[in-house]
């Protein structure tokens, strides 16, 4: 996980006279190359006395080299538009800049968050997710189970706008997922192996955590939950998890989650096979208790 030194350099400042008011505009440049090579973010701030009334952020990863537009000139263009609107009709401009709060999360904060990554709602991963939930409740913890296949989550389009604000361009169920992970102390991912990696709907959720990673990088270090990976696959041999585990570890690492334990079950294909393995439920239960106690 990357942590940045915060260095903000003032590119320019200027004043805008409108009616009897003087507004101040500042353009700042920040070097994000510790996160991604050559990434630069520009922040335009409009200030009225000591109050910030408008913010525009943009970074150079948003712009294709094939398009004759770049981050710095976009910021200049927005500055010109703001200045013109302020001079013409300051009241309308200020009303249009009122900040809107994001909608509240519909998921209640829980101590344990379980992501059940299989599209089969009654399959092996689902049974493991149920074992985890039962154990966590037995330990007196609140639990939320997230089923990516049932959610409305748009795939990441790589626009990198999340590095401007720490939030995603898409306003869908992913906001609730991130908020749930953020408030948890244990994150458990239960996933089958699909073509050596995770199923598509879980991969979409993982990629969309880029915005969560951006928020952590922008806001700074925080104490993330611990991570537990429970994997299942149809073929015989632990080698079948050789891609699944690094994918899930990379996901957790990117959002500051320390992977504390794994449990990988091979040679399990039919929907409820896993329930017939002697002692497995107790092993999962034991891992959950251990991780909850160590907090
Ligand atoms: C599309 C698809 C791809 C799969 N790819 C693999 C694979 O690469 N290796 C493997 O061992 N099992 C593979 N499997 C088998 C599943 O991992 C196995 O059936 C597992 O028990 C499914 O878990 P679930 O019951 O939680 O859905 C695949 C299954 C499907 C449907």
**pLDDT, tens digit, 9 for 90 and up, residues 181-237:** 999 999 999 999 999 999 999 999 999 999 999 999 888 766 789 999 999 999 999
Task: Return the pLDDT at 100.
Answer: 52
Task: Return the pLDDT at 42.
Answer: 96
Asked if residue 271 has its Cβ within 6 Å of ligand 1, the reply is yes
Ligand 1: which atom is nearest the Cα of residue 190? 26
> If you measure from the C-alpha of residue 194 to the centroid of ligand 1, how many angstroms do you get, rounded to a whole number?
5
Task: Return the pLDDT at 83.
Answer: 94
Over residues 110-151, the pLDDT tens digits come to 899 999 999 999 999 999 999 999 999 999 999 999 999 999
In what helix (H) or strand (E) does residue 286 lie, and over which residues does it extend?
A: helix 280-293
In what helix (H) or strand (E) does residue 211 lie, and over which residues does it extend?
A: helix 210-219
Say which residues have a Cβ less than 8 Å from residue 231's Cβ, sequence separation at least 6: 190, 191, 192, 193, 241, 244, 245, 248, 262, 263, 264, 265
Task: Return the pLDDT at 91.
Answer: 86
Task: Return the pLDDT at 107.
Answer: 63
Asked if residue 179 has its Cβ within 6 Å of ligand 1, the reply is no
Q: What is the pTM of this model?
A: 0.86
pLDDT band for 6, please (50, 70, 90 cuts).
low
pLDDT band for 51, please (50, 70, 90 cuts).
confident
Asked if residue 125 has its Cβ within 6 Å of ligand 1, the reply is yes
Which of 190, 192, 195, 189 lies closest to 253, judged by CA?
189
How would DSSP label each residue in 134-180?
HHHHHTT--EEEE-GGGS--PPP----THHHHSS-S--STHHHHHHH
User: Encoding tokens for residue 228?
Assistant: 């537990």
Asked if residue 145 has its Cβ within 6 Å of ligand 1, the reply is no
Ligand 1: which atom is nearest the Cα of residue 196? 8
Domains of the chain by residue range: 8-96, 112-293
Architecture of domain 112-293: 3-Layer(aba) Sandwich (3.40)
Asked if residue 261 has its Cβ within 6 Å of ligand 1, the reply is no
Q: For strand 112-116 and strand 143-146, is the pairing parallel, antiparallel, or unpaired?
A: parallel
DSSP one-letter code for 111: S
Residue nearest to atom 3 of ligand 1 (CA): 194
Reply yes or no on whether the pLDDT at 40 is more than 90.
yes
């Amino acid at each position: 996980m990357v942590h940045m030194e915060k260095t903000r350099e003032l590119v320019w400042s200027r004043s805008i006279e409108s009616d009897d008011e003087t507004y101040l505009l500042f353009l700042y440049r920040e070097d994000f190359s510790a996160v991604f090579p050559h990434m630069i973010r520009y922040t335009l701030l409009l200030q009225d006395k000591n109050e910030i009334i408008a913010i525009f952020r943009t970074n150079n990863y948003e712009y294709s080299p094939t398009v004759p537009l770049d981050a710095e000139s976009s910021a200049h263009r927005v500055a010109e538009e703001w200045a013109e609107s302020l001079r013409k009709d300051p009241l309308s401009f200020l009303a249009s800049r009122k900040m809107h709060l994001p909608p509240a999360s519909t998921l209640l904060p829980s101590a344990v968050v379980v992501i059940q990554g299989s599209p089969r709602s009654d399959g092996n991963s689902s049974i493991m997710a149920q074992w985890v939930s039962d154990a966590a409740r037995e330990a007196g913890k609140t639990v939320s189970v997230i089923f990516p296949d049932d959610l409305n989550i748009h795939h990441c389009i790589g626009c990198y706008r999340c590095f401007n604000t720490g939030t995603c361009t898409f306003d869908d169920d992913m906001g609730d997922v991130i908020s749930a992970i953020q408030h948890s102390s244990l994150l458990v991912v239960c996933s089958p192996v699909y073509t050596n990696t995770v199923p598509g709907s879980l991969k979409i959720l993982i990629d969309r955590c880029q915005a969560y990673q951006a928020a952590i990088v922008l806001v700074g270090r925080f104490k993330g939950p611990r991570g537990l990976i429970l994997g299942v696959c149809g073929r015989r041999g632990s080698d079948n998890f050789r891609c699944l585990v690094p994918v899930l570890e990379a996901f957790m690492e990117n959002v500051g989650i320390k992977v504390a334990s794994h449990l990988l079950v091979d040679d399990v294909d039919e929907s409820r096979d896993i329930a017939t393995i002697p002692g497995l439920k107790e092993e999962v239960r034991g891992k959950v208790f251990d991780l909850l106690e160590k907090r």
